Amino acid sequence: MRVLTHWVLWSLGWARAETQTTQAERDCLARHAAGRRVLVEIGVWHGVTTRRLRAAMAPDGVLFAVDPFPVGRLGLSFQRHIARREVSTVKNGEVQWIRLTGAEAGRRHAAARLPAVELLFVDGDHTYDAVKQDWQSWSGLISPGGVVGLHDSHPTSGRPIEDAGSVRFTQEVVLRDRRFTPIEVVDSLTMLRRNQT
C-alpha distance from residue 3 to each of 6, 41, 50, 139, 187 (Å): 5, 22, 20, 33, 27
Task: Decide: helix, strand or coil at residue 43.
Answer: coil
Is 64 or 9 the better-scoring residue by pLDDT?
64
- The pLDDT value recorded for residue 1 is 58
Superfamily of domain 20-194, CATH level 4 = Vaccinia Virus protein VP39 (3.40.50.150)
- The pLDDT value recorded for residue 74 is 83
Q: State the pLDDT confidence band at 4, using cuts at 50, 70 and 90.
A: confident
- The pLDDT value recorded for residue 65 is 98
Q: State the pLDDT confidence band at 80, using cuts at 50, 70 and 90.
A: very high
**pLDDT tens track for 139-186:** 999 999 999 999 999 999 888 999 999 999 999 999 999 999 999 999
Classify burial at 74, counting beta carbons within 10 Å of its beta carbon; exposed 0-12, middle 13-18, buried 19 or more: exposed
- The pLDDT value recorded for residue 132 is 97
- The pLDDT value recorded for residue 33 is 98
Q: Read off φ and ψ for residue 65, nearest 5 degrees.
A: -95, 105
- The pLDDT value recorded for residue 72 is 84
Q: How far apart are CA 65 and CA 52, in angstroms?
A: 12
Mean pLDDT over the full length of the chain: 95
Helix and strand totals (H; E) in the chain: 7, 7
- The pLDDT value recorded for residue 8 is 81
- The pLDDT value recorded for residue 66 is 98
For residue 197, pLDDT beyond 80: no
Task: Decide: helix, strand or coil at residue 122.
Answer: strand
Task: Decide: helix, strand or coil at residue 58.
Answer: coil
**pLDDT tens track for 83-126:** 999 999 999 999 999 999 999 999 999 999 999 999 999 999 99
C-alpha distance from residue 28 to each of 32, 84, 128, 173 (Å): 6, 23, 24, 23
